[in-house]
Amino acid sequence: MHTSQLQRGFTILELIIAIALVAVLSALAVPNLRNAIQNNRLTAQANDFVVAFQLARSEAIKRGQPVSVCATDANDGGDEPVCGDDWSLGWMVIVDGAASEGTNAVTLVDRIRVWRPSNDGIGIAVPDDVEFFRYLPRGDIDTASGATFPVVITMDIDDCTGDQVRQIRIARVGSASVNRVECS
């Protein structure tokens, strides 16, 4: 056999170096991948919240009647959620049968859309224990919920690092926006 016909494999030293290199690169990439996944989850959840507010505002204007975004609660024995006080259980946009502006409770007439919780360790903090936001037919928000405007809803995640907190800012005129802020 000629040496040109022999197949040469990896030496033990080359294999050890290759494995060590893969281990080092993996150790560097895993934390960054985890942060990217957490950021994506928070961004998606915050965007869903903003979509709910935009939907409620547009539906109130289109229908010419109050439409609310409310926290969901354990259902009332049926399959559909009801308005409650725990935003971490999800939220929904509903047609609100409130008798008049200033009514301090929602009256569920019809569910437009329901958002379930993400169950990804995302915490939602709504100030003033606000349970609902009612959009009026002119597109602004009724102050009956007891909210002090602008309302800043905070979403964070377990083991928060860097700027992984999202703040959703709701203005009295009905607009909603999201900002990234540092973990506290």
How confident is residue 38, by pLDDT bands cut at 50, 70 and 90?
confident
Give tens-digit pLDDT for 143-174.
887 888 999 999 998 888 888 899 999 999 99
Q: Which has the closest alpha carbon to 62: 135, 170, 144? A: 135
pLDDT at residue 93, rounded to an integer: 97
Residue 31 has pLDDT above 80, yes or no: no
What mean pLDDT do residues 49-72 have? 95
Residue 124 tokens read as 């939602």
Residue with tokens 């040496």: 3
Residue 175, SS3?
coil
Which is more confident, 6 or 138?
A: 138
Tell me what the pLDDT averaged over the chain comes to: 86
Q: Which CATH architecture has domain 11-181?
A: 3-Layer(bab) Sandwich (3.55)
Q: What residue segments make up the domains of the chain, in order of their start?
A: 11-181
pLDDT at residue 80, rounded to an integer: 76
What mean pLDDT do residues 37-64 have? 93
Q: What is the DSSP letter of 74?
A: S
Q: How far is CA 14 from CA 19, 21, 78, in A?
A: 9, 11, 64
Dump the DSSP string for 109-128. EEEEEEE----SSEEEE-GG
